[in-house]
Amino acid sequence: MKSSSGRRRKERTTPQRAVGPGALAVALLLVLGSTVGGYLLLTHEDGTASAVSPAKQPGTAKEPEWDGKTKVLGDGSTSYTGPQKGELKPVRLKPGEKPPQFVVFSWDGALEGSDHLFSHYRELAKQYNAHMTFFLTGIYLLPKTKKDLYHPPQHGVGAAAIDYATDEHIRETLEQLRKAYEDGNEIGTHFNGHFCGAKGGGDWSVKEWRSEIDQFYSFVENWKTNTGYKDIPPLPFDFKKEVTGGRAPCLEGQANLLKAIKPLGWRYDASSAGDFQIWPTKKNGIWDFPLQMLPYESGKFQGLSMDFNFLYNQSKGETQGDPAQFPKWEQQTVDSYMAGFNRVYYGSRAPLFIGNHFEDWNGGIYMKSIDQVIKNVCTKKGVKCVSFKELADWMDVQTPETLAGLRSLDPAQSPDWSAVVK
């Protein structure tokens, strides 16, 4: 199948099983390569609305003060330009204070293809005062002519389950990465070859996951050498400082992945599938930000918060690719996302995680749905559309008692906040 970015996919998602009321769907998603007053202050240094500098993890050394000078790194592919501007400043909740409603929009395999969806969502985020997480696939900055530089775990040299990007798309992706970072968005990782199933991430050892991560760093820190592009300035950030989490292809292999990323000081992992809409906890000392089960068809079913309409309709045996079905499925998707949002917005205020891809499946209904959801939710009172890193910052400054109280809530439970927030 040709995607709208012009690259041919070598795999498809498998159907998710929709389940009836009272049961949780088994959500194994084989995804393709391609987130007031007092709780979270969104203020620039001049006092205008928007921003947040990252919270330091407890026990970590203080960052040396930036001297205001850009430091070009390595071969000139990246640079350090000081703390990211526009990030949210995390502030501890006051006793009895209602938490903000966090919403995280994240994108797997961020690539600026011929569909220009990377730039579209970067610009949409800016329009609605939102920040997003863009998970970059490392080989999208590696020319196909240099594919032999990639040694994927348990696969042949240069192998990948997705196509390498065209030279034009590499150049355009570099531009969007720069602009996304400058807008305050997060750049995370979707790793490299997007291998699923047998010999995929679920079969990889800790050492193999670390190899995949090290190669990701190599591709993004040496794109200038690998591409030969001398007319493009360095990216304005240091990947080893800024990449603090990711999502594994097909949501596979989290157990060993967590062991691999802990020594790197990563803050979170977004590779879990099918959890309830509850406040997050940590696994192995790392924040676990899972995809979530959202109510479908007025709560008759639960669907995964990632392109789940495609999977749900497939599980019902409905014809895929029938244009007559697109308007119905688009509205179902919007309704399901909004039902999930409303359940927590008027209830526990647990963060809502929505994952997606830059793809045009079924006439682009998922893109149109996300556009509408962004407009609907990011404009509501008390809602903060943030990145995963910003959410981790906020969670880290809350008291253990408050976090425990938040985690005790059911998704739709609207509590007496004075009894929860300590």
CA–CA distance, 105 with 367 (Å, rounded to integer): 12
pLDDT confidence of 239, banded at 50, 70, 90?
very high
For 277-299, the pLDDT digits (tens) are 999 999 999 999 999 999 877 77
Task: Calculate the alpha carbon distances from 214 to 28, 81, 97, 268 in Å.
Answer: 27, 23, 42, 18
Q: Residue 11: is its pLDDT beyond 50?
A: no
Q: Is the pLDDT of residue 263 over 70?
A: yes
- Write down the CATH number for the domain with range 73-81+92-419: 3.20.20.370
| Local confidence band at 64 (pLDDT 50, 70, 90 cut-offs) | low
Rounded Cα distance between 277 and 292, Å, is 6
Q: What is the mean pLDDT of the chain?
A: 84
* Helix and strand element counts for the chain (H, E): 11, 14
Domain boundaries, the chain: 73-81+92-419
Express as a percent the part of the chain with pLDDT over 90: 69
The sign one gets for the Cα dihedral 316, 322, 327, 330 is: positive
- 364 pLDDT more than 60: yes
Give me the mean pLDDT over the 230-249 stretch.
96
In this prediction, residue 365 has a pLDDT band, given cuts at 50, 70 and 90, of confident
- pLDDT higher than threshold 80 for residue 323: no
CA distances from 390 to 25, 47, 98 (A): 29, 19, 18
Query: Around Cβ 85, how many Cβ atoms within 10 Å?
Result: 17
pLDDT of residue 53: 36
Looking at residue 163, its pLDDT comes to 96
**Per-residue pLDDT tens digits for 184-211:** 999 999 999 999 999 999 999 999 999 9
Query: Span 123-130, mean pLDDT?
Result: 97
pLDDT band with cut points at 50, 70 and 90 for residue 337:
very high
The helix (H) or strand (E) run that includes residue 89 is strand 89-90
